[in-house]
Structure formats: C-alpha cells, structure tokens
Structure 1
C-alpha cells in the first residue's frame, strides 16, 4: 500500500505550481513537454486533485466482461504476445497490462506473490487507467497522445503513483483507429528514467507483433502479401503486410506497409489494384500464394520504385480450381470441392494434431532435394496428400505423375516407369513411349506401394535418384531428369530390407522424411471430417445428418479409413430422403459393427458429458446445430442465430459446447 510521505506532499506542490508553467522538470532533470501537457489537461480539463489518496478503480465480474467480450478474438491473440514478453521481463519484477481504448485493463500478467501489492497500486486485471480518472499515467497518457511513452515515478500526476514506472505503447487497427495499449510496469523502479528505455523498446516490439497477428486474423479470408526490404528477413519478420480481396483490390495494409510504400506522403494503398501498387498482377499473386508458398519473390513498389522481397498466403482453408485457360487460377472456392479442384495441405490436416504436425514438417522440406516417404493404412489418403504437397511446392506448375507399383504386372512396370525407344521389343509402340519418370520431369513422381517394386527395378530407380538421369529401354544415351519423388507404402520397409526384399540403399535414399498418416479411427477431428465429406459429396444439395446416425459414424472403427468413409456417405446421401441421413440410411454392416451411442458423448463431438436436461434444451440444440452446420465458424453461426459473437461464446460456455479443435 502506498504510504503518504513528505515526497508526496512535495510532488503535489510541484503539480500545482506547474499550472503557471509551460513545462516541468522531473527528477530525471529533463524538461518533459508531453508530461507538462498532460498535467495541464488533468488540472484544467479534468479538474483532478493530485493529492487524492483513493486507490485506482478495479472492475470485476460483469462490468469487466462488458469490456472484454467485444475483444475476445483480439484477447486470444494478444495473450500469446503478452506471455512471450512476460517471459523476458518477469525476472526483473515487471508486470504486463493490456488495455482497451478506454484505459480498462482487459488482461494482466504478474507474479502471484506480488498480487496484493500490485492490486493496491492498480496494476491488476480490471484496473481503470484513463487519464481523466487517474491523471498522467502510462496507459491513459498513451491513449491521449497516441504514441509510445514512459511515465516514470514523479511524472505521474497523482502523488500515490510516484513510485511506479510505466512503459506503454498504443495498439492500432489498420485504419488507424486505436485498439488499445500494451504496458509493462514496475513497482519499485530505479531513479533514472533512462533505465526504462529498453523496456519501452521491448513493449513496442511486442505490440507490433500483436498488431500484425491480429491483422492476419482479421483478414484470414483475404490474400496476404508480406514484404521486407531485406530478403533474409522476409520469412522471419512479419513487418509489412497487405491484404487483397478476391477482385485484386487492396482492402487493408498495416501501418508499417503504408509508411514503407508511400514514405510519409500521406497516401494510402487501400482501394487500389495490387498492380497499381506493385509490379505484380493478381494472377501472379494467386499463383505464388497457391503453388509457391515458400518462394520469396522480388517485387517493386510502383510509386517509390524500390525493390522488396515478398511471400504470399492464400485465404484460409481455400480449395482452388486451376484453370486450363491462360494458366490462371480462379478465386478461392467455398468449403465444397468442385470438379478439377485439389485440397490444400491445411485442409487435409483439419484440426488433428498429428496431421498438423505432418503438414508443418512437410512444408519445411518440400522444396529441398529431400524425398518423402508416406506411411499409412489403405484409404488414409496418401496420394491425395502427395498431390497437395506437389501443389504447395515450387513444382506446382509442372506435372504430378502417379504410379501404383502393385497394380501393374512385373513384366510391364519397367517400361511404364522408364519408357522405351521405338522397336525396343516385340509389340512395342512404333513411336516408343515416355515413361512415368520422364513424364514427371520438372515436377513430382508419386510411387504408391513402393514396397511391391521388383528388386531389379529398384536398382534402376536408385540410379535415377542418385544420378538424376534415366536410360529408357533400347536407348544408348542417358537422359537428364529433374524431379521430386514421393513414395508411399502400407508395408514395413525395414522388415522387407531385413528379408532381402528391398534394397537397403534405396530405402535410405527414399526415406528422407517419413510422414505417417493416422488412420481415421485415431484422428481427433473425425466429426469435422465427416461433415466435410458430407458437404463435398452432397455438392450443391443441402444434406444434414441426424444425431443418432452421426454418433454411429463417429464410433465406427473405419478399417477402410477415409476412402471407406467417402463411399459410405456417398451411399447414405443417395438413399436418404428429405436431405436428412438417419440410421436407416446407413449401410447394414456399419450398424452391425458399431455400438449405437449418442454423438454428444463422443470424444470428437462438441458436447462433453452432456446431461439429459441439456439434450432436451431447445437453446442447446439450436446453438449446437447451427455451429455444426457452419463447421464451427463462430462468425457465420452467430449471424444465423442473430446474436453477437460474444453472446454466442457465452451460450457455448453455458451449455458446455466445445469446438472439436479445442478437445483435449
């Protein structure tokens, strides 16, 4: 608790004397215009008394939630940045306050052992630090000045706060409106204000990271360009960001990007075509975002004429139809897959932790000369995953060629794989044939069931991988090839090597990175997968599934994995009536081999340990049903229900409804 002493009385006298002065001098010995202006506001505009001893106001319960709930999504993102900052400064005794645009502390991190002292000082969740109430202070004066500031010790207006040091920076939306503030404060700071300059720099850095992360979240359904003047930094520092809509117009840019592009001239890139701002067409942007996600592309700003280095991101969960005409790409499609589309790696990963880890590992190596080996049961989607890797890589514009080594007779697999010259053997095509390896030149060769490849052909494949050349049957001169090889198998290659059925050197050549695709029964996002497959198979029809039938599908073991799931749901949709799949529409073997359960008790379903009262609750049923209908998209569900996002979150908490991707 702040103890009133002689120093506080002296501070009060100095504040009142400042009313007759245009500047003040603090213990740091420096004249502070910002501090003086703030003190003048406190005295003349807000009629505050620096000698008042009351503690800062702290909001709790519903009063605090009214400020938090409109910013729930921002709070989730900001929390990560706060934690990272706190890990760096907590050992020095700092606490962190996240404030909204009104000066209300909507999140807080501090040492629990200092809770009582922090609360007494107003460094606590729910504390109100507006300048009109607490006078000159880090959060309140930062809001008034709209710039980063340090309010150190006796620079505070109220005498009870002169023991604090607060380093605060504003947080802005892309349109320049104030979102809030980020503050780190110290209860017992050193006398010298310069000791806080590093703290201010750290809080500034964290604030920009939070702003950028929130920008990317707000524009997750837009095309994103991230650029930097230094090539080495563009992938590791998200500094300048531009969001582009489906027509190629810039709809938002963060403050750093606007400043960089127009060099303080006051212009704004919004509502301009991307080709008016960069020497980049919208088709090029989409092509790189979809097919060359790890490529760093040099681009030039049209106004300044300066060169930057950029990476690109497509809208979240997009499935893109590659157009044959002009080689361009159509705009991102909605959730249903259409003819001629492919699925992105992120879409295939869903919300399953193992699949998300697989995608993360794959993206790190897919543009390097490292082979991928996909391991998984039949029907787990190995070829679909391989094609998604190809489409996400720098080879996307080149061919993707697949060959199933188990489906071709041993006598034909050599010619299929390596090709042959005309007249190479009796019955050969008179013009010869380009094998799969040559067809895949520049692109990706996918060899499914690699464990079934004959030993004599394994030697030839090893040469292709090692020497990057191929010798077709009947040819005398080898031909150079450049391709990425992805192999898949459900067999144990190590065991085949031990038994002499698979070359050890080829095994190690193919096994650059092993990706294990989990069987459907082990995936934690089964509920989401079922709904996605229904949406894809139903095409333009509206089809839903009854709870009891949904529970049976969730509880089934799916030995045929996703392939079996697709076939079953295709059948269910065909035989169902009125657009509702019920138990009667399920294949008999599915019902026979599954114990009927309520979907609400499944691990991947949205309601955990629901009571009978909940199951009969109309509000619960309505909220749960709409969330499932919109695949747990909170924004879309809240629009249909006619309530705000924050109200929908409250309803979900009330009824213990948990999205599948948040299940433990």
Structure 2
C-alpha cells in the first residue's frame, strides 16, 4: 500500500457514515473531531525536560510502583526489539524501557519520553486510542491513522486509578517488519497482566492502613479489590469492583459495611460483634487456655464459658 493510498483509505473511511467498526470510529474522530490529516508526517510533539519532569514528579509514587512491572515486561519482550512505555492519562510518555541498540530507531519514530501520543495529537494509535476508549487495543501497522506510523505495531492496556478514573496506558511498541498479528496477541496478554498488576499494587499502596479484600469469588480476578478500614467499612474500591458492586463510578467512595457489599451474612451485630472480637483475641493470646483468657478479661471461668457459647466460640 502506498503512502497516498493509505491516506486516501483513511479519509474515505473517516467520511463514510456506513463504516461502523471501532477502527473506523477512531479514524473518524481523528479526522473530524481533531482535524488531523492522515498524510501529515510530523513527529509527535515532545515536552521540554522541565515540563516532563513536572509531570513525572506529580506522579512519582505511581511511577515507583509501576517500575518493577515495566522491568518485568521489558524482560519478556525487550529481546525481540520491543519498546515498553508508560504514559499518563493525557498520552504523554513518562517512562520507558528500550535497548540501547533500538533506542535511535524508536526515538526517530517519536516513541520516546515526553512525546504526546494522544489521539487528538497522533490520531488512531495504540496509546491514544486505548485512552480515548478506555479499553485494551492493538493498532497494527495500517490501522494507524497517520501514514508515517504504519510501520509499527502498538499494543496497549489502560490502567485505572484508585479513584476509578483513567490513570495511564501501558504500551508495547515494535517497528519490526516481521511482527505478526499472532505475536501481537501473545504480547497483548502480557501487557494486560502487567497493567492489572500495576493497578492492583497502586491501589494497595493508596490505602496503607486498610485491609485489602478480594471482592469476587474468583481468586483469579485480582482487579476486583476493596479497601476495608478498622471498622469493617469499605473506603475504597478498584474500578472493576465499583462496576460489579454498583458503587460510585469515580471519586471518593461513600463508606459502607464491607459485609453488605460482599453479601456475606453476619449474625453478630453491634456490641455482640465487638465482644466476639475481644473474646477471640483473648483466647488467641492465651493460646486457647480458657482460664488464662478469662483472667485477662477480668471475668470468671464460668462466665467465660457462657459468653463463648453465646458468641459461637468453641474451646480449642
């Protein structure tokens, strides 16, 4: 396909009202909404060093949490000539992993720290379209809006913040001529897993004083997490948990009893629950010795047995 024919195809599909695919919708946004020309061969704009550093400093805690996952993902795909990048929600590349031997080529493509890969800037591309649609995407070669980007394959997954808002995009890009769609699918699975791991780790780090509870009966669904405080109130939830449990889509979470959200029955209420916890702690500290636990609570042994029976605690 020549440069002109690709630009013509994009323009034709962008204007067509009958084209209903997700790709055509992205091309249409790029041309109609953002006013871009598919034949434009300018590199993405890049922030100055000071501007990039300002953005990085503002997201320093997130970048520190994400760094080990970037290293791990790069360890899986770096040897095949791939570039691993992490952007903010605006599509600005904040961090990356790339080999010294491939660095010059990726810098020439504009796949570099500080570059703006938003859809409004570069049209349909892995990073920008992932952020625009809030979903995992693969943009392979001629699926890109700009003709100058049709030599690359870009695989991206969104990362959602603890407040339920879109926080970042995780990208693996390759400009290899032999990059196949089948290989892209393998990389896409790794990108999705790394993105979910970053999301879960940052969620945990954002609620340091809370218990983190899996809000799903499926142990493999690591994206559905609740943060529960010392009073057993859910004070935070990942985007997946918010959607599944019908919570606020974005922003602060109104505290709710975790048991109510999780549908777990609790026969103890109020003072009974507090007494149950106190008696259970005393027994644990006494190694199951009822007499020692009773003395620690300042009650008689017979009273202790009666309370244990009423609270459903068995002697170990």
Q: Tell me the alpha carbon deviations over residues 497-550 of structure 1, each in whole angstroms, 9 at most, x when there is no partner.
A: xxxxxxxxxxxxxxxxxxxxxxxxxxxxxxxxxxxxxxxxxxxxxxxxxxxxxx
Q: CA offset at residue 148 of structure 1?
A: 0.9
Write the distance in 2 (CA, Å) between the matches of 1:141 and 1:201: 18
Write the distance in 1 (CA, Å) between the matches of 2:6 and 2:59: 37
1:305-324 to 2 correspondences below 5 Å: none
**Partner of 2:74 in structure 1?**
86
Q: CA offset at residue 135 of structure 1?
A: 1.1
CA shift in 2, pair 1:135/1:197, >3 Å: same
Q: CA offset at residue 177 of structure 1?
A: 1.1
**Partner of 1:599 in structure 2?**
none
Q: Which of 304, 326, 332 is the matching residue for 2:275? A: 326
**Partner of 2:16 in structure 1?**
21
Unmatched 5+ stretches in structure 1: 1-5, 25-31, 285-324, 330-390, 402-436, 442-482, 484-664
CA shift in 2, pair 1:42/1:144, >3 Å: same
Q: CA offset at residue 256 of structure 1?
A: 3.2
CA shift in 2, pair 1:143/1:327, >3 Å: same
Write the distance in 2 (CA, Å) between the matches of 1:209 and 1:122: 27
CA shift in 2, pair 1:280/1:71, >3 Å: farther
Q: Is the 8 A contact 1:242 1:250 kept in 2?
A: yes
Unmatched 5+ stretches in structure 2: 294-315
CA shift in 2, pair 1:191/1:118, >3 Å: closer
Write the distance in 1 (CA, Å) between the matches of 2:204 and 2:194: 15
Write the distance in 1 (CA, Å) between the matches of 2:49 and 2:234: 41
**Partner of 2:233 in structure 1?**
249
Write the distance in 1 (CA, Å) between the matches of 2:283 and 2:159: 39
Q: CA offset at residue 398 of structure 1?
A: 4.6
SS of alignment partner, residue 2 of structure 2? helix
Q: Is the 8 A contact 1:172 1:179 kept in 2?
A: yes
Q: Tell me the alpha carbon deviations over residues 328-359 of structure 1, each in whole angstroms, 9 at most, x when there is no partner.
A: 36xxxxxxxxxxxxxxxxxxxxxxxxxxxxxx
**Partner of 1:12 in structure 2?**
7
**Partner of 1:106 in structure 2?**
94
CA shift in 2, pair 1:222/1:121, >3 Å: same
Write the distance in 2 (CA, Å) between the matches of 1:113 and 1:159: 25
CA shift in 2, pair 1:151/1:398, >3 Å: same
Q: CA offset at residue 93 of structure 1?
A: 1.8
Write the distance in 2 (CA, Å) between the matches of 1:270 and 1:180: 25
Q: Tell me the alpha carbon deviations over residues 102-124 of structure 1, each in whole angstroms, 9 at most, x when there is no partner.
A: 10001101111111101011121
1:186-201 to 2 correspondences below 5 Å: 186-190=174-178, 192-201=180-189
Q: CA offset at residue 238 of structure 1?
A: 3.9
The structure in which a higher percent of residues are helix is 2
CA shift in 2, pair 1:207/1:140, >3 Å: same
Q: CA offset at residue 176 of structure 1?
A: 2.5
Q: Which of 164, 171, 186 is the matching residue for 2:152? A: 164
Q: CA offset at residue 86 of structure 1?
A: 1.3
SS of alignment partner, residue 397 of structure 1? helix
Q: Which of 54, 58, 78 is the matching residue for 1:66? A: 54
Q: CA offset at residue 156 of structure 1?
A: 0.6
**Partner of 2:120 in structure 1?**
132
Q: Is the 8 A contact 1:95 1:110 kept in 2?
A: yes
Q: CA offset at residue 211 of structure 1?
A: 0.5
CA shift in 2, pair 1:275/1:112, >3 Å: same
CA shift in 2, pair 1:78/1:191, >3 Å: closer
CA shift in 2, pair 1:173/1:211, >3 Å: same
Q: Is the 8 A contact 1:56 1:134 kept in 2?
A: yes
Write the distance in 1 (CA, Å) between the matches of 2:84 and 2:142: 20
1:145 and 2:94 are equivalent in the alignment: no
Q: Is the 8 A contact 2:283 2:290 kept in 1?
A: no
Q: Is the 8 A contact 1:23 1:33 kept in 2?
A: no
Q: CA offset at residue 62 of structure 1?
A: 0.6
**Partner of 2:33 in structure 1?**
45
CA shift in 2, pair 1:275/1:227, >3 Å: closer
**Partner of 1:205 in structure 2?**
193
Q: Is the 8 A contact 1:22 1:36 kept in 2?
A: no
SS of alignment partner, residue 127 of structure 1? coil
SS of alignment partner, residue 166 of structure 1? strand
SS of alignment partner, residue 256 of structure 2? coil
Q: Give the TM-score of the pair, scaled to structure 2.
A: 0.79
Write the distance in 2 (CA, Å) between the matches of 1:245 and 1:439: 32
RMSD, matched Cα: 3.2
Q: CA offset at residue 224 of structure 1?
A: 2.3
Q: Is the 8 A contact 1:23 1:36 kept in 2?
A: no
Q: Say which one has the larger Rg.
A: 1
The structure whose RCO (Cα within 8 Å, separation 6+) is larger is 2
Q: Which of 95, 104, 125 is the matching residue for 2:83? A: 95
Q: Is the 8 A contact 2:232 2:257 kept in 1?
A: yes
Q: Give the TM-score of the pair, scaled to structure 1.
A: 0.39
CA shift in 2, pair 1:440/1:271, >3 Å: closer
Q: CA offset at residue 283 of structure 1?
A: 9.2
Q: Tell me the alpha carbon deviations over residues 65-99 of structure 1, each in whole angstroms, 9 at most, x when there is no partner.
A: 12111111000001111111111111222111101
